[in-house]
Amino acid sequence: MKVLMASDFSTGSDLALDRATFLVRQYQAQLVLLHVLEASDSSLVGALPALDRLRQEMETALRNKAASKGIQCEIRVRIGKDFVDIILEARERQVDLIIVGAHGRHYIKDALFGTTAERVISKGDRPILVVKRPAQGPYMRVLVGIDFSPESRNALEYAMKIFPQAELYILNVCGLVYEGKLRQVGLRDEEILSLDNVEYMRHLKELDRFLSGTAAYSIAKRLVAKGYPATIILAQAAHLKADLIVVGTRGASGLKYILIGSVARHILRDADCDVLAVRCERPSFELP
């Protein structure tokens, strides 16, 4: 297993490094520790000696970070654009997992344009673990969002492979039944409730079929709930005291399920626990 951890020396990156350190020791993984030096930050465009000196300083800082954790790793400093160079480095090194902190140094820029993590998820082609909490040990309670698509199956299988020790919860979110409109056409409350129950049972049966033939069928706890996906997933994660939410980056709905657009931002920004986003197809966006 090869892991890429991207650091901008923020508090969020320190949390991510703690989790990366734990995973490296748990799986005897190879670690690449990366910092992307943005030319706009350094104001040193065209000044090669100064850039080389700054690169060396960043390499030393990364080595000191690794030494403080007692781990061996490959140190990399790139000059470019944060999310672009994280994705490029992951491709070049053929890593299995990218780890980043939930928030970096640029809170105002994150609010306006999205966090680095969001952009890596949107444009990248590797699983990405977004760390929000201090690493207290292995993930013990994992909630996986399922929409019956191949992408969500891939996310489930990846989570089971990487975190086999965890207690696993599988959640499918039903579409909302628009009660107001149903009442307008004359349906009574008991008829609306009956429709709700039929939809619930249909999703529960579909979830059983989806899990059939997988290792999760016999060990995972199944959950079906009605509502808006991001809200329900966050609520269930809080209720279960989950320490990790796992999702696929595409799904069956027109919103491309969870990790595209406002739903993605809702989960990534509002989840109290870490989030693992798994992508199984190459994005159409091509990096330079």
7: Cα within 13 Å, side-chain hemisphere: 28
Write down which residue in 101, 136, 171 finishes a domain: 136
Q: Which domain holds residue 49?
A: 1-136
Of 242 and 155, which is predicted with more confidence?
Answer: 242
pLDDT for residue 186: 78
- Whether pLDDT at 235 is above 50: yes
User: Considering the entire predicted model, what is its pTM?
Assistant: 0.85
pLDDT digits (tens, 9 = 90+) for 160-189: 999 988 999 999 998 665 666 777 787 887
Mean pLDDT of 179-205: 81
CB 32 within 8 A of CB 117: no
pLDDT for residue 195: 80
Do 210 and 127 belong to one domain?
Answer: no
Write down which residue in 118, 136, 154 finishes a domain: 136
Write down which residue in 87, 120, 136 finishes a domain: 136
**Residue 281 backbone phi and psi in degrees, to 5:** -130, 155
pLDDT for residue 49: 72
Q: What's the rounded Cα separation, in Å, for the pair 69 and 180? A: 57
Do 253 and 203 belong to one domain?
Answer: yes
37: Cα within 13 Å, side-chain hemisphere: 21
pLDDT digits (tens, 9 = 90+) for 60-118: 999 999 999 999 999 999 988 889 999 999 999 999 999 999 875 544 344 433 578 88
Q: What's the rounded Cα separation, in Å, for the pair 188 and 209? A: 32
The CATH number linked to 240 is: 3.40.50.620
